[in-house]
Amino acid sequence: MTLAGKIVGLVALILTIACSGAGDSSRSAAASDPLSSWNDGDTKTQILDFVERVTDPASADFVPESERIATFDNDGTLWSEKPAYFQLLFAMDRLRELAPEHPEWRDEQPFKGVLEGDLEAVAATGVPGLLQLVMATHAGMTTVEFEQVVTDWVATARHPSLDVPYTDLVFQPMLELMAYLAAKDFTVFIVSGGGIEFMRPWVESVYGIPPERVIGSSIKVVFEIRDGEPVLVRLPEIDFIDDKAEKPVAIHKFIGRRPIAAFGNSDGDLQMLQWATAGPGARLGVIVHHTDAEREWAYDRESNVGRLDEALEEAGEKGWTVVDMKRDWKIVYGYRSD
């Protein structure tokens, strides 16, 4: 090789090294196995194949970056939801904290049930009772104050049976999947029945999703000037419940484009999956099926929380990908090796 040839080779090598950091730093990791917590099999193959097809410019199914929208449910899809939605456990913790200022709660359901640990009595109050719990614990303060309450809870609260922070209970395979999609220039949104302001304070550090890409249920807020300072005050009034047929409505309102991929785990995600997968071109619908009673929980048709019945039926008809947690996931949580 001539000296000039060597120089050219050297320059090429330096360019490769020096420029690699300027683009997408996750590429090299992704190139090995972007879904290393997933067992090999049909599920993993279907997901990888879809992403390859829509991101390969030579493919008939190629989708430009700006249209690569993916939506993920949160409870039961990105983290666990047992023994109850974690937001409900938050509301109950919060209620106990506020109880000294509210002696009337000692005699009134659903508050009494929470304070006495009688969850059957709480459950018996149904949706109206749960809404009362949410209003009593989520409203009556400014948005800045509520954000601090959530941040403090997430930093200190522990799951009742597993005794770890709730944010340890996010599914490692799903974190990998979201990172993989982001590396492939998807824009990833969370579309959850959970409270939008309950999620936003921690989703960026835990999921890598910024607050503006979190959609959820909300209570009303009102703008006020207090002592010359503008504040947003949370009212004890429902604004929007982001569940079932409202999920496509919220997707339309917040995103304004139809996702090409949607990920859920319950009947509450059925319409989101229908909407995403009915669009033209290649589409991916994925349902996380909780089949692992040992490492997580096993439930579907009979469950109150995260009931999966109609959507599982339709997954078969429509060819959606069903993740069998027990079979498809090498590990469940990042904090544990199983």
Can you give the binding site for a copy of itself, defined by CB under 8 A?
7, 10-11, 14-15, 18-19, 22-23, 66, 69, 143, 187, 189, 196-197, 200, 204, 210-214, 218, 221-223, 225, 229-230, 232, 239, 245-246, 248-249, 252-257, 271, 274-275, 278
- State which residue, 15 or 124, has the beta carbon closest to a copy of itself: 15
Distance between CA atoms of residues 54 and 299, nearest Å: 33
Cβ-based nearer residue to a copy of itself, 249 or 305: 249
- My answer on whether omega of the bond before 110 falls inside 30° of 0, hence cis, is yes
Enumerate the β-bridge partners of residue 332: none
Residue closer to a copy of itself, measured from CB, 16 or 156: 16
Q: Kindly tell me which of 213 and 307 has the beta carbon lying closer to a copy of itself.
A: 213
Minimum CB distance to a copy of itself, residue 217 (Å): 11
Residues 6 or more apart whose Cβ sits within 8 Å of residue 85: 75, 194, 305
Measured from the CB of residue 293, what is the shortest distance to a copy of itself in angstroms?
Answer: 34
| Distance of closest approach, residue 120 Cβ to a copy of itself, in angstroms | 34
CB of 223 to a copy of itself, least distance (A): 4
Closest approach of Cβ 323 to a copy of itself, in Å?
23
Cβ nearer to a copy of itself, comparing 125 with 143: 143
- We find the least distance from the C-beta atom of residue 255 to a copy of itself, in angstroms, to be 5
* Least CB distance to a copy of itself at residue 80 (A): 24
Nearer to a copy of itself, 43 or 187 (CB): 187
Q: Which is nearer to a copy of itself, 74 or 218 (CB)?
A: 218
* Residue 146 contacts residue 94 (beta carbons within 8 Å): no
